[in-house]
Amino acid sequence: MQDFKIVLSEEDISRRVRELGAQITKDYQGKKPIIVCMLKGAILFFSDLIRQLDLPITIEFARLSSYKNGVTSGEIEIIDTIKTDIAGKDVLIVEDVVDSGKTLAFFKDILLKQNPASVKICALLDKPEKRKTQVDVDYTGFTLGDKFVIGYGLDYAERFRELPSLAVVDSEEEAKSKL
Ligand code: IMP
Ligand code: MG
């Protein structure tokens, strides 16, 4: 892992993903949820999680952006959103990390206007200390403090998404030196 400090190993992650999958399977019994992958960061979490769901799911992808070169800009841009009709459907958004909460509060609002039966959020990581906009995270993998992490889909300046574990970056200089 290029000398980064690992905070969650592959085993830690896969154990928690199995637990989340079992819980979601139980909660959505009798339903046919639409599982939405938030690109790019949730790609690995999403692909592992959906294989733990014993439900008749369909999948969709959305891509919103709020970070530029590792630093938040505060502005949210919709790069691509789901095109399917979600009226009357149960939607589960799968996200890598909820930080300020702005991205998901914004996206959930858009989806709620389309009259779905429900919209819930499943995030691999939650940083409640960093919250600026209130948003309910219905399923959380792990809670983190004010730390910047990379790997397992999460990037710094579009790098390190392929790393199988989650590692903490202590400073911008550390991340930059390894780009
Ligand atoms: P929010 O709108 O501030 O909640 O932004 C969440 C988005 O910021 C996530 O989907 C990530 O793309 C990015 N992000 C937040 N924290 C981290 C981190 O620690 N590592 C990598 N990306 C992060
Ligand atoms: Mg993201």
Handedness of CA 129, 135, 138, 141 (dihedral sign): negative
Residue type, 52: Q
Q: Distances from the Cα of 111 to the Cαs of 16, 50, 58, 137, 172, in angstroms? A: 27, 21, 16, 15, 35
Domain that holds residue 17: 5-177
Q: Whose CA is nearest to atom 9 of ligand 1?
A: 97
Q: How far apart are CA 164 and CA 8, in angstroms?
A: 10
Q: Is residue 80's pLDDT more than 70? A: yes
Decide: helix, strand or coil at residue 41: coil
Q: How far apart are CA 70 and CA 91, in angstroms?
A: 29
pLDDT interval class at 2 (50, 70, 90): low
Between CA 101 and CA 32, with CA 11 as vertex, the angle to 5 degrees is 55
Q: Whose CA is nearest to atom 17 of ligand 1?
A: 148
Please give the pLDDT value at position 176. 86
**DSSP code, position 55:** S
Q: Is residue 72's pLDDT more than 70? A: no
| pLDDT per residue as tens digits for the range 18-44 | 999 999 999 999 999 999 999 999 999
Q: Is residue 69's pLDDT more than 70? A: no
Determine which one of 99, 126, 136, 170 is catalytic: 99
Ligand nearest to the CA of 76: 1
What's the average model confidence in pLDDT over 99-106? 95
| CATH number, position 117 | 3.40.50.2020
Distance from the alpha carbon of residue 145 to the mean position of ligand 1, in angstroms: 13
As for how many domains the chain has, the answer is 1
Ligand nearest to the CA of 175: 1
**Which residues does ligand 1 sit against, CB inside 6 Å?**
41, 66-67, 72, 95-103, 148-150, 154-155
Name the percent of the chain lying above pLDDT 90: 85
pTM, two decimal places: 0.94
pLDDT interval class at 5 (50, 70, 90): very high
Q: How far apart are CA 127 and CA 144, in angstroms?
A: 5
Q: Which atom belonging to ligand 1 lies closest to the Cα atom of 155?
A: 21
Q: Is residue 65's pLDDT more than 70? A: yes
Distance from the alpha carbon of residue 24 to the mean position of ligand 1, in angstroms: 23
Please give the pLDDT value at position 179. 85
Distance from the alpha carbon of residue 89 to the mean position of ligand 1, in angstroms: 27
Please give the pLDDT value at position 177. 86
| pLDDT per residue as tens digits for the range 119-173 | 999 999 999 999 999 999 999 999 999 999 999 999 999 999 999 999 999 888 8
Q: Which atom belonging to ligand 1 lies closest to the Cα atom of 105?
A: 2
Q: Quick check: is 90 catalytic? A: no
